A and B are shown apart, each in its own frame.
Chain A
Amino acid sequence: MTRKFPKITVWRVIFAAIMLSGLYATYLRVFYGLGGSTNLSDKFPWGLWIGFDVMCGVGLAAGGFTLVAIVHIFRIERYKPVLRPAILTAFLGYVLVVVGLLYDLGRPDRLWHPLVMWNPRSVMFEVAWCVTLYTTVLFLEFLPVVFEKFGWHKPLEWIHRISVPLMILGVLLSTLHQSSLGSLFLIVPEKLYPLWYTPILPLLFYISSIAVGLAMTIFESWHSSRAFGRALELPLLASMGRVLAVVLSVYLWIRFLDMSHRHVFGLLALNRVETWLFALEIALMLVPALLLYQARVRLRPGALYACAVMVVFGFIANRLNVGTTGLEAGSGTHYIPRWSEVAVTLSIVAAGFAIFRAIAQYFPIFEAHSLEQAPAEMEETEADAVAVG
């Protein structure tokens, strides 16, 4: 029996090219250090790997805690079909954030140091603990899927028993972690451009993470429905779109108030790169917010998807602005990522897509719940009612 060579498709070729370039960039990072693989400098110590891989990676994983809260704590059970994909995204997101950190840390072999050497006054210390604990929680929240797949009932029961405190812990850790990524930049008031520097950065980071968590859930439902030929849970996603519109409005309203209190609207008259980047970021949040208020947009899969994509890109723009571009002027330097930085980032994203797809194919991520959709919500068994995922 000869094994069939996988069919060559455009996407597979692109995927292979990205992974190969990532591999070479990894070689550069390992053997030539950060200097040989990045455009970072003494004046600009954080670049794409922090700005995108870590700050966006954590944010894009926010669907996990948002949906756990919606489904299991607020018990809006009709959202259940999208819960597992959201938890899987979050888990993969966090694992990939750690991978990104291994590239970015000068001494990745000392990743564990903050667990032993404490400085509770450091935001980075809080971040390190949140990453560690929440990745563990997400792993435990994902385990039932594995147990179900192999029909292990004993451990399944055991994990159901601790699921409520686990979920509450997960939501709390996410709240701390999402906001603390904003707190990281509170210490650079004179470096970060005033359109972004505000004492309420942690609050803004938290609210925008909820928005992007919902957007990512719509995004991945759309993609997986195409990839696996499933029917799209349109009414569900549409109602999620409405929630998203409200969250975005709250976010934009708080940002507006904050800017008016800080008297920075005058900066928008300056023809600077920052002004345009700011406008882009706001537009990518404002346009989908306005569109999603209209039922005819929400109920058209293509339009709903486009809105979700806009929110995701608006979110990425915001994190990159706070983490990189907004710091350039204040640091008195320019930073453009080197190709190897981009290659590693793309490889991490591509690996994320591929692993998600593989897991969704072999584990009950989507099917399990398409069966549960039909029966009324009341018929849930007791164990199921508190089950994670």
Chain B
Amino acid sequence: MPKAILYDSTLCIGCRACEGGCAERWGLPYNDKIAAEETISAHKLTTVETHGDKFSRRLCMNCAQPACASVCPVGALQKTALGPVVYDASKCMGCRYCMQACPFQVPTYEWSSRLPKMRKCDMCYERQSAGKVTACAEACPVGATKNGDRDALVAEARQRLAEKPDQYYQKIYGISEVGGTSVLYISAVPFEQIGLRTNVPQEPLPETTWRVLELVPDVVSTGSVLLGGIWWITNRRAEVAKKEGRRR
């Protein structure tokens, strides 16, 4: 049963407890200065963004079919059955294709390090494997961030939208975006007004490259026969020409 996070922007009070919980879980420093940064970075894996009187969280969406994991040449990123997309820093060679490929611009890099790693939220894989909720969900005092089974959270989101139709924009972000994500958003206003990308494709992104990559065996087999054949013909022609030339 894949896990998910439901973030309800209408409940969020912008207290940033999720940021603190996340920093503690990763062992990252957290103070007022870092709290004031409203962008995710290698030292801040989740953030609360202010959009007028509305709030919005940014964290890894842990996509159902993650572009980052599909593009990683060394398989350092893996989608787990539990839901989180996990990262093995010991494999990573730092090509940063995951950062380029991510439609949500989530992966961040330790730019100033001499031996840098990529950093991103992994939806508290160890905590969730041990049956605990994510650090952000545990820290949230108002239930704006909720962690649980994805199906149950989708049902709950639908129920909230149905019960208070005038308080919610009637859509759930993350249901079909890039083929579905583990983080689901509901909000009072259309999602672009709380800083979410609404121009992302509704299909899983790995398909875009796989369509071409799966042709590699075709190119190799057809190509080698074709080129070998052409070589054989031109070579034969040269041989024949040479023999005939000698006889004359």
Contact = CB atoms under 8 A, between A and B. Distances in A.
Majority-rule SS of A interface residues: helix
A172 B227 contact: yes
A382 to B, nearest CB: 8
Interface residues of B, number: 63
A122 B97 contact: yes
A277 interface: no
Contacts of A164: 231
A113 interface: yes
A73 B73 contact: no
A189 B201 contact: yes
Contacts of B112: 32-33, 35-36
Interface stretch (B14-22, B144-152, B217-225): B217-225
Given A36-B112, A172-B220, A187-B101, A45 B231 contact: no
Contacts of B228: 168
Contacts of B209: 121-123, 183-184, 186-187
Contacts of B208: 186-187, 189, 199
Interface in B78-107: 91-97, 99-101, 103, 105, 107
Interface residues of A, number: 66
Contacts of B220: 172, 176
Contacts of A184: 97, 209
A11 interface: no
B193 to A, nearest CB: 16
B109 A190 contact: no
Contacts of A227: none
Contact of B75 (A30, A34, A119): A119
Nearest to A128: B73
Given A45-B96, A72-B231, A199-B211, A172 B224 contact: yes
A297 to B, nearest CB: 31
A386 interface: yes
A41 B234 contact: no
B28 interface: no
Interface in B14-44: 39-42
B219 A106 contact: no
Contact of A45 (B40, B109, B114, B200): B109
B61 interface: no
B205 interface: yes
A114 B93 contact: yes
B226 to A, nearest CB: 9
A42 B205 CA distance: 20
Given A123-B209, A175-B223, A187-B67, A33 B231 contact: no
Contacts, number: 186
Interface stretch (B5-13, B126-134, B235-243): B235-243
Contact of B93 (A43, A106, A175, A380): A106
Interface string B129-161: 000000000000000000000000000000000
A378 interface: yes
A117 interface: yes
A388 to B, nearest CB: 12
Interface string A91-123: 000000000000011111011011001111111
B71 interface: yes
Interface in B40-89: 40-42, 67, 70-76
B115 interface: yes
A121 B210 contact: yes
Contact of B94 (A107, A125, A187, A202): A107
A323 to B, nearest CB: 10
A222 B236 CA distance: 34
A385 interface: yes
A341 interface: no
Given A106-B96, A114-B93, A378 B242 contact: yes
A369 B129 CA distance: 68
Interface string A363-389: 000000000000000101000011000
B113 A33 contact: yes
Contact of A42 (B109, B211, B231): B109
A40 B109 CA distance: 10
Nearest to A72: B231
Nearest to A118: B75
Nearest to B201: A189
Contacts of B206: 121, 187
A176 B220 CA distance: 8
A378 B241 contact: yes
B105 A43 contact: yes
A203 to B, nearest CB: 9
Interchain residue pairs A-B with the least CB separation, the first 6: A106-B94, A35-B111, A124-B73, A75-B234, A110-B93, A35-B112
10 contacts: A106-B93, A113-B74, A119-B72, A122-B75, A172-B220, A190-B197, A190-B199, A190-B200, A190-B201, A380-B238
